[in-house]
Amino acid sequence: MNTIQKAKLEYLFAILDANQNHILQLDDFTNVAERISDQLGYDQQSKARLDLNLKSYRLFVQILADMGKQDISINKDEWLTFFEYFQRTRPKFIHRYISRVANYVFSLFDHNNDQLISKEEYTNMFKIYGLDEEFVHVGFDKLDQNNDHYISKEELMKGFYEFFLSANEEALGNWIFGDWRSKRVKVA
């Protein structure tokens, strides 16, 4: 793993670490589901809220299983070691992993289930994760490669592969979560 890939993974860790305690835990994932539910006006007892929480719970448990973790927290060193090891030794596994994460993010933010991410839905992702909204338009335009004003699942998937795997500092997918070089993430 080169320094660019490592910097992007550290930035993603900071994004996922919703409470900024330098450890990924279940509440980092379920809090995102709760914020999305609140933003969409889902009732506390609604099935839609439960579905979002379940998706978040499953993703976190799957990450723990993929990492072979027995405890339920992930620190930044474990996070980086996981990606470095699998990129080096099991590239097919890392592709499946990236695909799973991309599908998860897509399902969280495709609020109307039209299989497309609109600019509004993409903006909501920035708000939910506490990303610098200054880069919403840049990221959206770079991911919307066919210029139809939507991000398809395929376009998002390509962006995720570039974000996780590309050593090119200028790869379009690097903008998926805004400017990774700024490392500006606020507690949402």
CATH number of 3-174: 1.10.238.10
Mean pLDDT in residue range 5-12: 92
Rounded to an integer, what distance in angstroms lies between the CA atom of residue 17 and that of residue 40?
Answer: 22
Q: Is 176 exposed, middle or buried (0-12, 13-18, 19+ CB in 10 A)?
A: buried
pTM score > 0.85 for this model? yes
**Tens digit of pLDDT for each residue in 116-159?**
999 999 999 899 888 888 899 999 999 999 999 999 999 999 99
Tens digits of residue pLDDT in 26-66: 999 999 999 999 988 999 999 999 999 999 999 899 889 98
Query: For a pLDDT cut of 90, what percent of the chain falls above it?
Result: 61
